[in-house]
Structure 1
Amino acid sequence: MPVLTHLRKILSSFLDMKQVLILGANSDVAKEALKMYVSRGYHVVAASRSTAALETFAQQQQLPPEQVTIRHFDATDFGSHRTFYDSLPAKPQIVLYAAGYLKDNTAAMKDWDGTFNMMQVHYCGAVSILNMIATDNANTALERIIGLSSLSGVRGRKSNFIYGSTKAAFTQYLAGLRQHLFARRITVNVIVAGYIRSKMTAGLPLPESLMLEPAFIAGAVVNAGKHFTIVPGFKWKLIYHVLRLMPERWVAKLP
């Protein structure tokens, strides 16, 4: 009987927690967001292809096991998405899509597999799983969907237009999804991030003065309000607005 009572208390505590689903949870930003959500008392399903890496991270950070569930999720395995979503321990109130993949533009132009993988991770996979989440009318608790995008998707530039085009598509999808979900009072945010100090950008010749820490971006995620576009960092806000308004002939001169 004491064991049954204990299990009931655990279940009650689990159901009382706000449920967060992080897709692509092994990214540096996603892991920082995971820590922040847990610190606020949420239960987080951290989903990624790299479940072993997530388990190691959770142990190293001493995250309470009752607040973290680790699941396998492959953004490019579209056929598995329905089973993944239906098997969640609880339907989410907050969803963060943070899956990412970067292929150098020059290499991507010659390597279709690399290009296609960026398309699948940033756009196709996102649309596949987020459509399932957004059309689940039975989940009346859903309140927010957040996508981690990039400033690279604001304007096409010759140095990264393939990666940027996949992020631009993702951003436009989220913009339409926001309108689609407006009547249900579900907020959709896009985090338009600049250069992030992460394993994905390690080794790239990026200006140190513009680098942002993953925890800083994660803070923008966890504290997202009602605005659709969120650009973390004052310098990047300025760059974002300049890029949007810059004449095409000037954009053509950018790297």
Structure 2
Amino acid sequence: MNLHAIKTVLVLGANSDVAKEAILLYLEKGYHVIAASRSTGDIASFMKARNVADQQLTICYFDATAFSGHAEFYAGLPAKPHIVVYAAGFQVTNEQALVDWEGSYRMINVHYAGALSILNLIITDKENDHLERIIGLSSLSGVRGRKSNFVYGSTKAAFTQYLAGLRQYLFSRKIIVNVIIAGYIRSKMTAGLDLPEYLLMEPSFIAQKIVNAGNRFAIVPGAKWKIIYQVLKYMPEKLAARLP
């Protein structure tokens, strides 16, 4: 396959439940997908079970926290991306994060520092003149600080603000930047959490929002979560302090 003849999507953090569903949708649309993750074997097994043709997909190793290797990783890609999706994620509970610096530090590196490291390399690559879109998977946890998850939420808030500035920075180059501000997703990362069933969204639903992202910067999937997003954003501090 001539990878330079078709559009390429680079998915960073490709083993997340949402990312894998997004990969399937991109493949259906005829893109070549580079699935980058530490868990290359898991991705290969997932794609084999769904009869994905090898020539449509490239699987490669990527560690968001291994900053020193990001330049080599990007230089070694089989094709420069038209679209980049950053979906890497990691979470520990707030209680654990407060007493376990390693857990907090990893969330910072996966959600924020790692994103900056690789995305800065991509956007400053003068040889890639066909980059058209960057999409980041963030969270409603980053909209307002809450006592139950403010450590995790702060890393997502930082990522969202980076993407907001990046959108302005790339405006003159006509490169679109989107952020998916998602609520609770039924996934392996939330499997052990006590979450209300009626608010859980399926990974495939979030993936559709990623693949069909338009020009709007902030995309909040789900009607209920759109309301929650607005409430969180504009709620007076006295009321916000009472949130769990």
What is the TM-score with the length of structure 2 in the denominator?
0.99
Does 1:62 pair with 2:51?
A: yes
Separation in structure 2 between the aligned mates of residue 120 and residue 238 of structure 1, nearest angstrom: 30
Gaps of 5+ in 1: 1-9
Aligned residue in 1 for 2:28 = 39
Aligned residue in 1 for 2:101 = 112
* RMSD between aligned residues: 0.6
Separation in structure 1 between the aligned mates of residue 105 and residue 165 of structure 2, nearest angstrom: 23
Give, as a single letter, the amino acid of the residue that structure 2 aligns with 1:47.
Answer: A
Separation in structure 2 between the aligned mates of residue 194 and residue 137 of structure 1, nearest angstrom: 36
Q: Deviations over 1:190-219 (max 9, x none)?
A: 000000000000021100010000000000
Which entry has the higher C-alpha Rg, 1 or 2?
1
Does 1:176 pair with 2:168?
A: no
Separation in structure 2 between the aligned mates of residue 76 and residue 227 of structure 1, nearest angstrom: 29
Aligned residue in 2 for 1:139 = 128
Separation in structure 1 between the aligned mates of residue 68 and residue 240 of structure 2, nearest angstrom: 39
| 1:171 CA displacement | 0.1
Which of 71, 74, 78 is residue 82 of structure 1 equivalent to? 71
Moved over 4 A (4+): none
Does 1:25 pair with 2:14?
A: yes
Which of 145, 151, 166 is residue 162 of structure 1 equivalent to? 151
- Identical counterparts, % of pairs: 64
Separation in structure 2 between the aligned mates of residue 62 and residue 200 of structure 1, nearest angstrom: 25
| 1:16 CA displacement | 2.1
Q: Deviations over 1:34-79 (max 9, x none)?
A: 0000011100000000011111111111111111000000000000
Q: Deviations over 1:167-187 (max 9, x none)?
A: 000000000000000000000
Separation in structure 2 between the aligned mates of residue 179 and residue 26 of structure 1, nearest angstrom: 29
SS at 1:113 equivalent: helix
Gaps of 5+ in 2: none
Separation in structure 2 between the aligned mates of residue 153 and residue 250 of structure 1, nearest angstrom: 17
Matches within 5 A, 1:217-228: 217-228=206-217
Separation in structure 2 between the aligned mates of residue 67 and residue 16 of structure 1, nearest angstrom: 13
What is the TM-score with the length of structure 1 in the denominator?
0.95
Separation in structure 1 between the aligned mates of residue 16 and residue 126 of structure 2, nearest angstrom: 29
Does 1:210 pair with 2:199?
A: yes
SS at 1:44 equivalent: strand
Separation in structure 2 between the aligned mates of residue 133 and residue 60 of structure 1, nearest angstrom: 31
Give, as a single letter, the amino acid of the residue that structure 1 aligns with 2:89.
Answer: G
SS at 1:149 equivalent: strand
Number of residues of Structure 1 aligned to a counterpart in Structure 2: 244
Aligned residue in 2 for 1:102 = 91
Does 1:199 pair with 2:188?
A: yes
Separation in structure 2 between the aligned mates of residue 17 and residue 56 of structure 1, nearest angstrom: 25
Separation in structure 1 between the aligned mates of residue 202 and residue 230 of structure 2, nearest angstrom: 21
